[in-house]
Amino acid sequence: MPNKKKYNVNGDSGIKAQIQFADQKQEFNKRPTKIGRRSLSRSISQSSTDSYSSAASYTDSSDDETSPRDKQQKNSKGSSDFCVKNIKQAEFGRREIEIAEQEMPALMALRKRAQGEKPLAGAKIVGCTHITAQTAVLMETLGALGAQCRWAACNIYSTLNEVAAALAESGFPVFAWKGESEDDFWWCIDRCVNVEGWQPNMILDDGGDLTHWIYKKYPNMFKKIKGIVEESVTGVHRLYQLSKAGKLCVPAMNVNDSVTKQKFDNLYCCRESILDGLKRTTDMMFGGKQVVVCGYGEVGKGCCAALKAMGSIVYVTEIDPICALQACMDGFRLVKLNEVIRQVDIVITCTGNKNVVTREHLDRMKNSCIVCNMGHSNTEIDVASLRTPELTWERVRSQVDHVIWPDGKRIVLLAEGRLLNLSCSTVPTFVLSITATTQALALIELYNAPEGRYKQDVYLLPKKMDEYVASLHLPTFDAHLTELTDEQAKYLGLNKNGPFKPNYYRY
């Protein structure tokens, strides 16, 4: 480096009945927190604070060190029910949102097709996601569908300050800014939830921190909450833990395991964004580089495919024999991390686990090895073990640190072990359109479901809903679906309008 159980919901989701179609990173760990400010909680959940992710804001050039919590800001309508870095950045954020809208056809279609009825009328949604131009399009779509929303960020670095400002200017109560401290993180979530005269009846979460906070601080709120929609591996894992323990109070929709989320967001999105994140931070050439990718799930598959296509020599580590066999059949050498740790140029984690890369591994890495994470949580790389007196941290550029050993060896740590693509680059808007549409339809389904349809458990999205989301995106490619004849449909035992695959089908 020259520079420094699962339920499959049967039948139609009822979505069409609800939507009327009118037509078709200074010093390491320097995070200023106002002295004397009471910390909301450090001990509430270690796993919660481990789930921060990250990202870069291109127009955030402000050198103002004043905490947004200490500023008095109002939007043009006189409202101060928000907390962002700088409300004056709203115009720039609005332009970014307008660009994102061009690549999010399904959400824009939902807005047009819900002209008559508002399927989320009366819904009060509290959300905790990455706050980017793409999620802004989702939030404004939910508003157009009749919902009231309050929003916080699911991480401390991924917020685009100008987008948060644009949302605040439009009247959305948003509490988020890039570079929040841990105390700020929980404070923002609390400001979304603890509001006089307003109580949420739906939760949209990414990582489970919002759900966790409500369970710990305001459990009585679940009496009025109709459901939870969760999109991350980490958050879904927490929901299944709650369900297994009999502590899940409301129905929850597992968006992460929907086909349209896993196959498109996890696979195709990461196939493009892994290269973007690495190139922007390190300016490296991939050809001939030796890379080890820990985990061969959908994210790992996307990363491996992209790196292989660029001429990298790719190794894979896996615990699951099925995923391991897939890696072998795709032409990758399956290894244990210890076998290649001394020779590889890049280490990428994407397992959803913890301590995948330990201090022992870090000590054995070659000079200038790049270490990064593509999983939601910053638990995969044991970054805490690097915060010791004998190691020197040197900030190279935003989200890039050299960690230097006493003998002069250094590794390049990206985003302090947090999510690389949203820390150091961006992700493809079109793919996020697919995920965001799935989230919107899951909210509509849970909110409008008759009492008794969903019990206090975790559910998979109906197959029909996945197919509907996919169909909304096909016109972008001028794609033309073949239609079954009556005879063909009868032969296959299918409805001509779908669903076309059984729930157990693996795409």
263 is in an annotated binding site: no
Q: In what order do the strands lie in the sheet with 333-334?
A: 333-334, 313-317, 290-294, 346-349, 369-373, 410-414, 400-404, 392-397
Backbone angles phi, psi at 303, to 5 degrees: -60, -45
Contact 312, 281 (CB under 8 A): no
91 is in an annotated binding site: no
Tokens 């002209």 -> residue: 115
CA distance 398 to 19: 44
Q: Report strand pairing: 227-230 vs 252-254.
A: parallel
Alpha carbon of 114 to those of 32, 406, 462, 471, 475: distances in Å? 45, 63, 21, 17, 19
Q: Report strand pairing: 290-294 vs 346-349.
A: parallel
DSSP state of 40: S
300 is in an annotated binding site: yes
266 is in an annotated binding site: no
Give the DSSP H/E element, type plus range, for residue 228: strand 227-230
195 is in an annotated binding site: no
255 is in an annotated binding site: no
302 is in an annotated binding site: yes
Nearest residue to 383 via CA among 37, 25, 72: 25
The Cβ of residue 305 has, within 10 Å, a number of other Cβ atoms equal to 18
231 is in an annotated binding site: yes
36 is in an annotated binding site: no
Nearest residue to 180 via CA among 166, 161, 205, 204: 161
Annotated binding-site positions for NAD(+): 297-302, 318, 421
Annotated binding-site positions: 132, 206, 231, 261, 265, 297-302, 318, 421
Annotated binding-site positions for substrate: 132, 206, 231, 261, 265
